[in-house]
């Protein structure tokens, strides 16, 4: 009986040590690849319409949250707001560059533009689309990549795939559907 007890205790200790060494945390600093997602951001427009707010972590955020750091960018017609300085309490910034979405594997940690005043926005109107004055229509420029540091200091990359709206009379459509492709790195890594 005594030998069985010693064998049992020895086996228990051995199994415990094996289990503890087998569950070692990976400290190599590598992160899992981030999968790109798509979303449709619906923007209703008239001069009195508030911005539509988007969070890379949570999707569309209601206008009630516009005074918080819960959103990363806002959109109304073709005007973007970035949640920083003049536009919100967050720490969001943006870099725009030409390239291929899938080839952008690492994002910079500095060089981001911010909304410094209501007249000096980080994303300049007209910088990301081509406008046709005869039809009052616009299309996103191919290969234009938005690199975001989010309001909560994580990173995302985004491209606008398409802009669709119903035929309209006058100067602007009343509703625009922006189809975006994005990847969000929620762990703070700059690697995608």
- Structurally, the chain folds into a number of domains equal to 1
Rama region for 142: left / alpha / beta (φ>0; ψ in -120 to 50; rest): beta
- For residue 143, is it within any domain? yes
Segment 89-142, tens digit of pLDDT: 999 999 999 999 999 999 999 999 999 998 999 999 999 999 999 888 899 999
Segment 13-23, tens digit of pLDDT: 333 433 434 44
- For residue 115, is it within any domain? yes
- For residue 8, is it within any domain? no
Put the strands of the sheet holding 155-164 in their side by side order: 37-44, 175-185, 155-164, 144-149, 93-98
State which residues form the domain around 50: 33-185
Look up the pTM and report it.
Answer: 0.80
């Amino acid at each position: 009986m005594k030998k069985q007890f010693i064998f049992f205790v020895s086996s228990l200790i051995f199994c415990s040590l094996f289990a503890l060494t087998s569950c070692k945390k990976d400290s190599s600093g590598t992160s899992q690849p981030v999968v790109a997602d798509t979303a449709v951001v619906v923007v209703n427009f008239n001069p009195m319409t508030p911005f539509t707010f988007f969070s890379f972590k949570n999707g569309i955020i209601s206008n009630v949250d516009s005074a918080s750091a819960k959103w990363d960018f806002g959109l109304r017609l073709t005007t973007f707001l970035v949640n920083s300085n003049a536009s919100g309490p967050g720490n969001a910034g943006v870099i725009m560059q030409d390239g291929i979405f899938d080839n952008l594997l690492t994002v910079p940690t500095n060089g981001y533009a911010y909304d410094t005043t209501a007249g000096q926005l980080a994303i300049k109107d007209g910088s990301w689309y081509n406008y046709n004055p005869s039809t009052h229509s616009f299309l996103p420029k191919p290969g234009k990549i938005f690199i975001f540091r989010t309001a909560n200091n994580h990173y995302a990359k985004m491209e606008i795939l398409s802009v669709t709206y119903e035929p309209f009379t006058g100067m602007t459509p009343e509703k625009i559907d922006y189809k975006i492709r994005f990847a969000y790195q929620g762990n703070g890594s700059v690697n995608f």
